[in-house]
Structure 1
Amino acid sequence: MATSQCCANPPTLDPVYGKGMVVDNFGGLKTYISGALDFSKPAILLISDIFGFDAPNLRALADKLAESGYYVVVPDFFYGDPMPRNDFSQFETWIQKHGPAKGFEDAKLVIQALKRKGVSAIGAAGFCWGAKVVVELAKSDDIKAAVLLHPSFVTVDDIKEVKIPISVLGAEIDMRTPPEVTKQFEEILSTRPEVPSYVKIFAGVQHGWTVRYEVTDKAAVEKAEEAHKDMLNWFNKYVK
């Protein structure tokens, strides 16, 4: 089932993990922040999968981006109520309370908060659930570039409306967005040369591989880091 895959390999959440800090209100949301803010620095908004902003691998990625020169914000779009880790039977009930449409409205407030702070340019990356939020942002010029990682809920019609540089990083083993759907995204983007795009399907990995890996699994870490590098390269090229 697609739902069971979406909920597979849940992380052990750690609200104190990371080199950054958690603030109680950034654009109305509790937010993990990594990197120092100055007016010339671009920012990256990371939007989590269904397990939320306390996931250690996600925060480690935020720290990595910060070390590369970005001001990184990872908001809690679920208001302290991420998907329960060990009971995916609750998914349908949970998603009714935490749909991507609400995430999109909240994300716009976070972007406004970044702009009020004088941030020069903003990129956004979304994982699973978060990819749907990011693709909605990508339909406007509120951000400079977007990256979707093992997306959920993203449709062909969404991709047709994208207006900014977008990268889609998909998994070979993914029931939420199978490779044939990712290839459809690529075909649509190829007909729109005015929108820079990069689409890649990672062989031998499953949905969630970029943030839900065991740090002791060398092969899994390498696959995740390959995607992280692709994401960073995309932001370095377009978030200026």
Structure 2
Amino acid sequence: MANEARPCPCDIGDRMEYGGLGQEVQIEHFKAYLVKPPEASDKAIIVIQDIFGWELPNTRYMADMLAANGYLAICPDFFLGKEPWNSSRDWSSFTEWREDKKPTNIDKEVNLLLRFLKEQYGVKRIGVVGFCWGGIATHYLAFRNPEVKAGVSFYGIIKLDEDRYDLKSPTLFIFGENDHLIPLDQVSALEANLKEKCTVDYQVKIFPGQDHGFAHRKREDISPTDEPKILEARADMINWLNKYI
């Protein structure tokens, strides 16, 4: 996603060569990638895509990781069949591209998804994990939807003019220190507002030396400096969800 003060798309980073362990399902008017845990569970995680869409192998890898840790993981196509962003496109068209893809315009699909998970899989407790565009959506759902029991928002843009700090569910916010799309002063403002208005547990964590997308769009074997930070962020995600779901 992009800095709201100067909208522009982010770089895709390392695209994984990964096939995924789950299956695609149809839920009313949209599709979703669903992966089941090794043993049946009544706990589910909604995994929310970044601007590169629900089919990005990197995001499906994260969904599979959550399933391996005991959660039913589902990654819906919140773009509803519309074309995701492509790095080869002219960045000047980004604002127009995202006009009909707002991360805060997903309530209808989330409600259908919750019903599907309850009716088809007996899910009783639900969490949300989102990346970039999905990080904004995660923040939004943690603020708006009381059925969400916990959230982990990875480098979601902070719109300081929107008062979404009285969260309904415990939320972990993860950022990279060198994220050129999300200035650290915005992260500090987020933390200050949460401290003033949030009554549930939250954590804002900044990873030194990391940039936008580091936890799911950077290969951990590229740099011995980056690898422990990537793995730590993923472990933090699992630990947060285990604690509250």
In structure 1, what is the Cα distance between the partners aligned to 2:97 and 2:70?
Answer: 36
Alignment of 1:111 onto 2:114: yes
Structure-2 change in CA distance of 1:38 and 1:64 (3 Å): closer
The alignment of Structure 1 onto Structure 2 pairs a total of residues equal to 237
Query: Secondary structure of the residue that 1:206 maps to in structure 2?
Result: coil
Q: CA deviation at 1:216?
A: 4.2
Q: Is contact 2:166–2:197 with CA below 8 Å preserved after alignment?
A: no
Q: Out of 219, 229, 237, which is 1:214 matched to?
A: 219
TM-score normalized with structure 2 length? 0.85
Which residue of structure 1 lines up, in the alignment, with residue 191 of structure 2?
A: 186
Amino acid at match of 2:134: G
Alignment of 1:14-33 (within 5 A): 17-23=19-25, 25-26=26-27, 28-33=29-34
Q: Is contact 1:13–1:54 with CA below 8 Å preserved after alignment?
A: no
Which residue of structure 1 lines up, in the alignment, with residue 94 of structure 2?
A: 91
Q: Out of 127, 134, 138, which is 2:138 matched to?
A: 134
Amino acid at match of 1:20: G
Structure-2 change in CA distance of 1:172 and 1:105 (3 Å): farther
Alignment of 1:4-83 (within 5 A): 6-10=9-13, 12=15, 17-23=19-25, 25-26=26-27, 28-36=29-37, 40-78=41-79, 79-83=81-85
Alignment gaps of 5+ in structure 1: none
Amino acid at match of 2:222: D
In structure 1, what is the Cα distance between the partners aligned to 2:14 and 2:105?
Answer: 23
**Worse-superposed segment, 166-175 or 146-155:** 146-155
Amino acid at match of 2:123: V
Q: CA deviation at 1:154?
A: 4.2
Q: CA deviation at 1:191?
A: 3.4
Q: CA deviation at 1:59?
A: 1.1
Q: CA deviation at 1:81?
A: 1.1
**Worse-superposed segment, 155-164 or 117-126:** 155-164
TM-score normalized with structure 1 length? 0.87
Q: What per-residue deviation string (whole Å, max 9, x for no partner) do you get for residues 162-211 of structure 1?
A: 12101110111224332221122222223357310111011111111122
Alignment of 1:148-163 (within 5 A): 148-155=153-160, 157-163=162-168
In structure 2, what is the Cα distance between the partners aligned to 1:235 and 1:110?
Answer: 19
Q: CA deviation at 1:22?
A: 1.4
In structure 2, what is the Cα distance between the partners aligned to 1:89 and 1:226?
Answer: 35
In structure 2, what is the Cα distance between the partners aligned to 1:226 and 1:41?
Answer: 26
**Worse-superposed segment, 60-69 or 172-181:** 172-181
Alignment of 1:192-211 (within 5 A): 192=197, 194-211=199-216
Amino acid at match of 1:41: D
The RMSD of aligned alpha carbons is 2.6
In structure 1, what is the Cα distance between the partners aligned to 2:57 and 2:109?
Answer: 22
In structure 2, what is the Cα distance between the partners aligned to 1:130 and 1:105?
Answer: 16
Structure-2 change in CA distance of 1:55 and 1:63 (3 Å): same
Query: Secondary structure of the residue that 1:45 maps to in structure 2?
Result: strand
Q: Is contact 2:37–2:72 with CA below 8 Å preserved after alignment?
A: yes
Q: CA deviation at 1:231?
A: 0.8
Alignment gaps of 5+ in structure 2: none
Q: CA deviation at 1:217?
A: 0.9
